[in-house]
Amino acid sequence: MQRLRLLSYNIQAGIQSRHYGDYVTHGWKHLLPHPQRQENLARIAPLLHGFDVVGLQEVDAGSLRSGFVDQIQYLAQTAQFPFWFRQVNRNLGRLAQHSNGLLSRLRPARVIEHKLPGGIPGRGAVVAEFPTTDGGTLAVCIVHLALGWRARRRQIDYLMGLAEREPYLVMMGDFNCDCSSRSLQSMVVGHDLRGLDCELKTFPSWRPRRNLDHILLSRPLEILEARVIDYPLSDHLPLSMVIGLPNGVELVR
């Protein structure tokens, strides 16, 4: 059985949070550069190095607040990932480049961007397709869903359409909802997905109480290990998973 090491991490654009008050006192860091941001990225990179595919949320693709550093490219190069992709979902020009990021040690056959529905534009999903030896595709979808439940419900409905088309599917990211979400439960049950674990709490990083981050798999894939990593350099903790492909199926390298 071929194994794949996955990581999903909302890095809050390199901003470290230690309590809820930081959202107020450190709010300026979402607009302006500061030295600690790059220090945090340098500390995040060694963690990412141990994985095969990484999905990042709340990454800046190069603007004033990040010191015009493309954080996806920086982390890919520092953690030695040969393949990477940025999806800019909310482009505020020189002020901010809100993005999802994909880092991979495997070459995807193609990468597809999806703009998710919602009242306020700026949420997206990016799907990387990796060919398999049985002529199929392993699709890895990285998402960051809306805070509001109405928009999030529409976005989950959209993701259900993606799930219907992919026999081997990984869907990971910041869903901004936990196990109590009826929309999320409906998608998991309706498409026979694995991985919805209420014990894997990732938010807030300083006292995790909610499982807002998820790695979900279609049924042919197996979960071999899943855990939250105690690495509080954001307001979320990273979520890792080791998965196994079906016997006799491998990724084309």
pLDDT of residue 218: 95
Spans of the chain below 70 pLDDT: 22-23, 25-26, 28-29, 31-32
pLDDT of residue 26: 65
18 vs 206: CA distance, rounded Å: 6
Tokens of 146: 């809306």
pLDDT of residue 170: 98
pLDDT of residue 29: 64
pLDDT of residue 13: 87
The structural architecture, per CATH, of the domain 3-244 is 4-Layer Sandwich (3.60)
pLDDT digits (tens, 9 = 90+) for 199-215: 999 999 999 999 999 99
Query: What's at 246, amino acid-wise?
Result: P
pLDDT of residue 25: 66
Residues 109, 137 contacting (CB under 8 angstroms): yes
37 vs 22: CA distance, rounded Å: 14
Helix (H) or strand (E) holding 140: strand 137-144
